[in-house]
């Protein structure tokens, strides 16, 4: 669920350690731990680090500015790929070149024109024509125009053979709305107890495959590895994005997305130092803080407290239940990063004039601290779990969900989530009895990891001891499991990921797997039951997004 420890994450921690050493904050560790309010933690660390040269260097190391020279170098790299018929890599380079080119320049025109050649090769004629028109509306060199106009004519004549670019499919609609949870079916409810905190319970028997909740993200960001083919604002796949006019880091699928982003939080994000842009979750926690600051100024209609609303900032903040239990390293890193973000936001004139009271200042420090912990531990990684030969294999983004985050973990989860773009659909992946807790996997499953490993990670990251049936009964892992009752394998082989999407075949497989599941469930734990569940999930994955090849 949470793709935590990446190289970029460790880079951030390393920088924080340097500041920690230089400010001799190890003398203050006990003091830091005793502070009750997160704003006091940020205060303490900020007051010790903001004068350090290292801190000043971090702040001064700003994002790359637009530069025609850089744009030209990247475009030439794209040409190399193009000549080797590697059109997807060429396209990503041309898009990067577009993001780097200065507004209105001939370099921008050249990059659009080169990208139109990739789009033509990929049979994306509509996008190709858009890029040609963009190039022609700019300062495109006269001597190159005849070739571009010829491509325009060819694309016009072939656009009836246009390929569709749509990665995500629409999520299903909720059939029987839950009166107390805005995004859920009425088959579930939220309960609370000391052992599990808030958790989700089935209010009736639920069949395998049933939809439990369909939730839009509260906030999301795109990952660096996907940012040249997925919109920064809506995450949809797009092969001919347009750049932010200020920075080189954000690209959009449409004018609407570009202007919505800028009217929203991108105007601040655009000016962040490099340090805050290393990890997409760093951008997300600041975005979340900005949403929280806006929220604090809104006069809100009194809403009934017992209704869970996915779009409520209050619900997101409630997700961080372990502020006080985190280790000193997490505490210190959080306070340091919050201090850096605090400084950057206070330096931003628009922000500083909007939030200028002492109360705002306190609220800002508190929110930065809390939202960093939330995005680090509770954000969902949106990844594309397909064949590596196709573009869908990269990590796409991170998103926060107020309700879906309430599903607790089990190493034998009875529910699974599927990303339809930034929306998330949770379905039963086993049959669930009335009164049973509904659980998802936090990335650890009994068949893949040993009990000892699962317990260790869950304790370290999520601070609980798992008591699922696999942990309690010490179930064996993958190959050591019995096969269970035999199942016919012929139809399962049809679900190889490289298979073209065939809705009819998928539905046939789904129905057969569901029927077999009920015949096998008394043999749990066994390999054949897992195969059936895997294949059912595979159909829902196909239903969530297509496999676009360039
Ligand atoms: C994303 S939250 C889930 C919702 C949480 N129960 C709440 O009250 O907000 C993750 C936290 O839930 C708790 N949790 C998740 N799965 C659990 C389980 N199987 N047993 C006990 N606690 C669990 C842990 O405290 C964990 O850090």
CB-CB contact of 202 with 187 (8 Å): yes
- Mean pLDDT for the stretch of residues 439-449: 95
Report CA(410)–ligand 1 centroid distance (Å): 10
DSSP state of 348: -
Lowest mean pLDDT among 107-116, 401-410, 489-498: 489-498
Mean pLDDT of 359-379: 93
Of 165, 317, 140, 149, the residue nearest 239 (C-alpha):
165
Q: Are 121 and 151 in contact (CB under 8 A)?
A: no
- Amino acid 323: pLDDT: 63
**pLDDT of 150 over the 60 cut:** yes
pLDDT at 491: 54
Using left for φ > 0, alpha for ψ between -120 and 50, and beta otherwise, residue 484 falls in left
Tokens at residue 119, please? 């789009």
Distance 47 CA to ligand 1 centre (A): 34
Looking at the DSSP assignment, which residues form a beta bridge with residue 399?
220, 380
Angle 309-381-547 from CA coordinates, rounded to 5°: 105
The structure tokens listed for 512 are 């057969």
The atom of ligand 1 lying closest to the CA of 407 is 3
Average pLDDT over the chain, rounded to whole? 89
Ligand 1 neighbours (beta carbon < 6 A)? 196-199, 319, 321-322, 378, 405-406, 408-410, 462-464, 466
Q: Which domains are assigned to the chain?
A: 7-57+224-232+257-381 (no CATH), 68-161 (1.25.40.10), 188-217+401-544 (2.170.270.10)
Tokens of 229: 């083919």
Mean pLDDT of 252-279: 90
Confidence class of residue 1 from pLDDT cuts 50, 70 and 90?
very low
Between these two residues, 449 and 16, which has the higher pLDDT value? 449
Q: Looking at 16-20, 251-255, 285-289, which range is the least confident one? A: 16-20
Give SS3 for 525. coil
User: Could you tell me if 397 and 422 are in contact, meaning their C-beta atoms sit under 8 angstroms apart?
Assistant: yes
Out of 408, 463, 472, mutate this one to test ligand 1's pocket (max ligand atoms within 8 Å of CB): namely 408
Ligand 1 atom 12: residue of nearest CA: 408
SS3 of 167-190: the string is CECCCCCCCCECCCECCEECCEEE
273-283 pLDDT tens trace: 888 888 888 88
- How many whole angstroms separate alpha carbon 179 and alpha carbon 393? 38
pLDDT higher for 469 or 225?
469
Choose one of 192, 194, 409, 439 to mutate for the ligand 1 pocket test, by most ligand atoms within 8 angstroms of C-beta: 409
**pLDDT at residue 6 greater than cutoff 70:** no
Give the pLDDT of residue 387. Answer: 40
Task: Tell me, in angstroms, the distance from the centre of ligand 1 to residue 443's CA.
Answer: 14
Q: Which range has the worst mean pLDDT, 208-212, 387-391, 534-538?
A: 387-391
- pLDDT tens-digit series, residues 73-132: 999 999 999 999 999 999 999 999 999 999 999 999 999 999 999 999 999 999 999 999
Report percent pLDDT > 90 for the chain: 65
Whether 449 shows a pLDDT value over 70: the answer reads: yes
Model confidence pLDDT, tens digit, residues 55-74 = 999 888 887 889 999 999 99
> What's the gap in Å between 495 CA and the centre of ligand 1?
34
Q: How far is CA 536 from the centre of its chain?
A: 24
When pLDDT is cut at 50, 70 and 90, the band that residue 421 belongs to is confident
Per-residue pLDDT of 511-549, as tens digits, reads 999 999 999 999 999 999 998 998 899 889 888 877 667
Place of tokens 């499919």: 169
Q: Which string of DSSP letters, residue by residue, matches 259-311?
A: HHHHHTTHHHHTT-BGGGGSSHHHHHHHHHHHHHHHHHHS------TTSB-TT
Sheet containing strand 380-383, edge to edge, reads 219-222, 395-400, 380-383
Distances (CA, A) of 471 to 197, 409, 438, 444, 465: 19, 12, 17, 12, 9
Question: From the CA of 455, how far away is ligand 1's center (Å)?
Answer: 14
């Amino acid at each position: 669920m949470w793709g935590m420890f990446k190289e970029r994450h460790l880079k951030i921690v390393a920088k924080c350690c340097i500041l920690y050493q230089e400010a001799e904050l190890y003398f203050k560790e006990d003091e830091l731990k005793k502070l009750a309010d997160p704003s006091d933690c940020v205060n303490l660390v900020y007051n010790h680090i903001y004068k350090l040269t290292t801190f000043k260097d971090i702040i001064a190391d700003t994002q790359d500015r637009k530069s025609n020279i850089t744009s030209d170098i990247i475009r030439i790299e794209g040409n190399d790929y193009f000549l080797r018929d590697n059109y997807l890599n060429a396209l990503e380079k041309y898009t990067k070149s577009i993001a780097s080119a200065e507004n209105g320049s001939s370099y921008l025109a050249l990059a659009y024109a080169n990208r139109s050649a990739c789009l033509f090769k990929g049979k994306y004629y509509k996008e190709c024509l858009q890029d040609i028109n963009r190039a022609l509306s700019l300062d495109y060199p006269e001597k190159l125009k005849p070739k571009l106009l010829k491509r325009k004519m060819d694309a016009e004549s072939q656009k009836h053979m246009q390929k569709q670019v749509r990665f995500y499919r629409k999520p299903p609609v909720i059939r029987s709305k839950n009166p107390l949870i805005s995004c859920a079916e009425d088959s579930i409810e939220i309960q609370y107890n000391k052992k599990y905190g808030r958790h989700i319970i089935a209010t009736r028997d639920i069949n395998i495959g049933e939809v439990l909740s369909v939730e839009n993200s509260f906030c999301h960001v795109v990952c660096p590895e996907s940012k040249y083919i997925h919109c920064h604002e809506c995450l949809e796949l797009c092969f001919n994005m347009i750049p932010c006019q200020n920075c080189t880091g954000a690209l959009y699928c449409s004018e609407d997305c570009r202007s919505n982003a800028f009217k929203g939080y991108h105007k601040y994000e655009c000016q962040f130092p490099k340090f805050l842009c290393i990890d997409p979750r760093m951008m997300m926690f600041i975005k979340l803080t900005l949403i929280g600051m806006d929220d604090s100024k809104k006069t809100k209609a009194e809403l009934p407290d017992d209704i869970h609303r996915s779009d409520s900032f209050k619900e997101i903040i409630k997700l961080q239940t372990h502020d006080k239990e985190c280790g000193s390293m997490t505490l210190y890193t959080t306070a340091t990063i919050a201090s850096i973000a605090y400084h950057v936001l206070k330096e931003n004139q628009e922000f500083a004039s909007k939030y200028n009271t002492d109360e705002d200042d306190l609220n800002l420090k508190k929110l930065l601290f809390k939202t960093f912990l939330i995005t680090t531990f509770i954000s969902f990684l949106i990844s594309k779990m397909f064949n590596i030969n196709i573009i869908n294999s990269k990590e796409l983004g991170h998103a926060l969900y107020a309700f879906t985050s309430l599903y607790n973990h089990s190493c034998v989860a009875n529910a699974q989530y599927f990303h339809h773009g930034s929306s998330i659909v949770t379905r039963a992946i086993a049959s669930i009895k009335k009164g049973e807790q509904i659980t998802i996997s936090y990335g650890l499953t009994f068949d893949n990891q040993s009990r000892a490993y699962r317990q260790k990670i869950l304790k370290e990251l999520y601070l609980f001891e798992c008591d699922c049936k696999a942990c309690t009964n010490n179930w064996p892992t993958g190959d050591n499991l019995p096969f269970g009752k035999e199942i016919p394998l012929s139809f399962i082989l049809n679900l190889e990921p490289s298979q073209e999407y065939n809705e009819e075949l998928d539905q046939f497989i789904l129905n057969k797997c569901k029927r077999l599941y009920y015949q096998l469930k008394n043999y749990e734990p066994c390999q054949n039951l897992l195969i059936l569940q895997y294949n059912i999930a595979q159909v829902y994955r196909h239903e969530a997004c297509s496999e676009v090849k360039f």
